[in-house]
Structure 1
């Protein structure tokens, strides 16, 4: 009887061991995006736009990248017989209005000032208002009273 018990135990342990050893596939299954197992991304690529104003002696160049409502870019003012301003801006687009902080260098010093542009068709028109300096930054004194310079609109151009 002990003999049969030993044989039965040996057969049982071999059976249990073989059940636990699953067959392993040497090549893992590769899932491609077409299989639908990957969720679609909610992130859209940024919108890139360039604007320019050019007269006989003045040039303003603006390049911006818009991601949802966030906007960032570069801005350069080159007015005749005035110091050139080159810098970057970061802000938001609220409807047709761009509100941003412009960090620029002029005459060797770095400054920050608020900007406001309104978009009309394929043009950006800069707004001006009464300014004040607060904590080292030039800000609009009244956030609702602006004069827009329609004589110098920045027209949308191809980005180079």
Structure 2
């Protein structure tokens, strides 16, 4: 009888502890995050920006995507009584300055020139300096002094305004 009581107590203890473990599992149930949450947190999205200068007769439009310090986009110059330039650019942000190669069509030919813009608050201001032709591209000379056209700032706009 003593053995039966001992066996019964052991079985009751095992059953009771397994019931407690089942309850603990339910209390600590882990809910997996939704797939959209994983995609947003694990993948860097590019920063997208649009900037425009408009006067009575002139328009400059810059649209860009920035991923880390790499930048790419489109750039369009439409000056009164001059040929319109439309093209694409690829480059880098170095601090607050964008340096890029701008490939554009004008007067029926394709050209490449280096462009430079400095970001000031929510505007980009184009910089100019001495250039030279290197491998078919117009590039800024080393150690050139830049001048900035503050009279034509490209102001940030909503990209849907284009």
1:74 aligns with 2:103: no
Equivalent pair of 1:129/1:142 in contact (CA under 8 Å): no
Q: CA deviation at 1:142?
A: 2.9
RMSD value over aligned CA atoms? 2.1
Q: CA deviation at 1:56?
A: 0.6
Q: Which runs of 5+ in 2 are unaligned?
A: 1-30
1:43 maps to: 43
1:130 maps to: 130
Q: Normalising to structure 1: TM-score of the pair?
A: 0.74
- SS, match of residue 98 in structure 2: strand
> Residues 39 and 112 (structure 1 numbering): CA distance in 2 closer, same or farther, change over 3 Å?
closer
Q: 1:11-35: CA deviations, max 9, x gaps?
A: xxxxxxxxxxxxxxxxxxxx95559
2:56 maps to: 56
Matches of 1:145 and 1:97, distance apart in 2: 14
Equivalent pair of 2:129/2:144 in contact (CA under 8 Å): no
Q: CA deviation at 1:84?
A: 0.4
Moved more, 44-53 or 142-151: 142-151
- SS, match of residue 83 in structure 2: coil
Q: Which runs of 5+ in 1 are unaligned?
A: 1-30
1:19-34 equivalent positions in 2, closer than 5 A: 33=33
Equivalent pair of 2:130/2:144 in contact (CA under 8 Å): no
> Residues 39 and 103 (structure 1 numbering): CA distance in 2 closer, same or farther, change over 3 Å?
closer
Q: CA deviation at 1:43?
A: 3.2
- SS, match of residue 116 in structure 2: strand
Larger helix percent: 2
Q: CA deviation at 1:94?
A: 1.1
Q: Normalising to structure 2: TM-score of the pair?
A: 0.73
Q: CA deviation at 1:144?
A: 4.5
> Residues 130 and 45 (structure 1 numbering): CA distance in 2 closer, same or farther, change over 3 Å?
same
User: How many residues are matched?
Assistant: 128
Equivalent pair of 2:59/2:79 in contact (CA under 8 Å): yes
Structure 1 residue ranges, 4+ long, deviating more than 4 angstroms after superposition: 31-35, 38-42
